[in-house]
Every structure is written in structure tokens, then in C-alpha cells.
Amino acid sequence: MPEGVPEPGRDYQVSDQQIPMRDGATVELRVYKPLKTKGNALLILKAHGWVVGSHRVEEVENRMLAAYSGAVVASVDYRMAPEYKFPYAVNDCFDALKWASSPSCRVVS
């Protein structure tokens, strides 16, 4: 990590959750939340490259967005090609967005 990057627990909160997909599978969603969230906070869904990558690819950006913007950042670890062909990745990202923005999951409040 570069010097000065926000730290979990001090500058933001982070949690990993397994969330359901439309076909019954689950994928991991890493949620970065500002320490003080307002109701109806802005939700930013982050998706790394379509064939390679993980939450770590955009870790610095996700930390900074959560710590400095007041937005909740949801990084989805969707199923990737070539094992999972189109439209798995797109469907997983859309399902993650619907899940994270639903009133019942309370990610943004």
C-alpha cells in the first residue's frame, strides 16, 4: 500500500459478505463504509477486470472513496471468464447492485 492510504477501522469500515445470485450461487461482496454514514448514502459498485482480478486490484481506490467521499463502496468478486462465460460476470454484477441497493440489506444506511 502506498503511504497515507486510509486504514480499516480508523478511516472506514470493511466487511465481506457472501451474497446470492439469480442461479443460486453465491459471490463475495466486499463493502467499504465511511465511519459516519448518512441515510441514503451514495453507493458505488466496483467491478475489476472481466477475466483477471480481485478486490485487491482496486483496493487503494476503494479505501479512498469510502474514507473521503462519504460513499459506500461495494466491490463484487463476480465469476470470471474463461470458466464462466458471458453473461455470468454481467449478471453477477447486476445482482450484486440490486442486492446492495435493496432496503432490506441496509448496506447504504
pLDDT tens by residue, 90-106:
999 999 999 998 877 76
Predicted pLDDT at 50: 67
What is the distance between the terminal CA atoms of the chain, rounded to a whole angstrom?
Answer: 28
Predicted pLDDT at 37: 75
pTM of the full predicted structure? 0.89
Contacts of 103 (CB under 8 A, 6+ apart): none
Mean of pLDDT over the chain: 89
**For range 51-66, the mean pLDDT:** 85
Torsion angles phi and psi, residue 65, rounded to 5: -60, -45
Pair 79, 73: CB distance under 8 Å: no
Beta bridge partners, 12, equal 8, 34
Rounded to the nearest 10°, the torsion over CA 38, 14, 99, 103 is -30
